[in-house]
Amino acid sequence: MKHRPSLALCLALVDVNVPPQESDRQLLDFLVSCERPFVIVATKSDKLSANQLRNALQNLSREHSEARIVAFSAKTNAGQEELWREIRAATQPATDASLSTAAPLQ
């Protein structure tokens, strides 16, 4: 886990409708401590009202200020595109870099 180069991105699934869990905090602190790139996937986001979700996401980002967070629902597919973008960005850096640094066509 600490040294595997092929592990491009960790997806930390956190159930956003339950209060912050110590076990989640421990896992996220561990990922930070070993400098593993990760995204928090806030699952079951459809179960909360818009207000509740906003508060829950704010609490998560307050507690894990360095983390990117994607609100996700397997039921409504909310967050699916954003999550794929994060995965692609983490797994295709060479493609992105070669596109942005490609020499202009003469």
Ligand X SMILES: Nc1nc2c(ncn2[C@@H]2O[C@H](COP(=O)(O)OP(=O)(O)OP(=O)(O)O)[C@@H](O)[C@H]2O)c(=O)[nH]1
Token couple for 43? 């699952």
The structure tokens listed for 63 are: 């507690």
Kindly report the number of other CB atoms within 10 A of residue 97's CB atom. 10
Q: How many residues bind ligand X (CB under 6 A)?
A: 8
Q: How far is the CB of 73 from ligand X (least distance, A)?
A: 4
Rounded least distance, CB 75 to ligand X, Å: 4
Closer to ligand X by CB, 81 or 96: give it.
81
Interface with ligand X in residues 24-83 (CB under 6 A): 43-44, 46-47, 73-75
* Least distance from ligand X to the Cβ atom of residue 89, Å: 23
Cβ proximity of 71 and 57 under 8 Å: yes
What mask, x for binding ligand X by CB under 6 A, covers residues 6 to 25?
Answer: ---------x----------
* Ordered DSSP codes for 35-83: T--EEEEEE-GGGS-HHHHHHHHHHHHHHTTT-EEEE--TTT-TTHHHH
* Residues engaged in binding ligand X (CB under 6 A): 15, 43-44, 46-47, 73-75
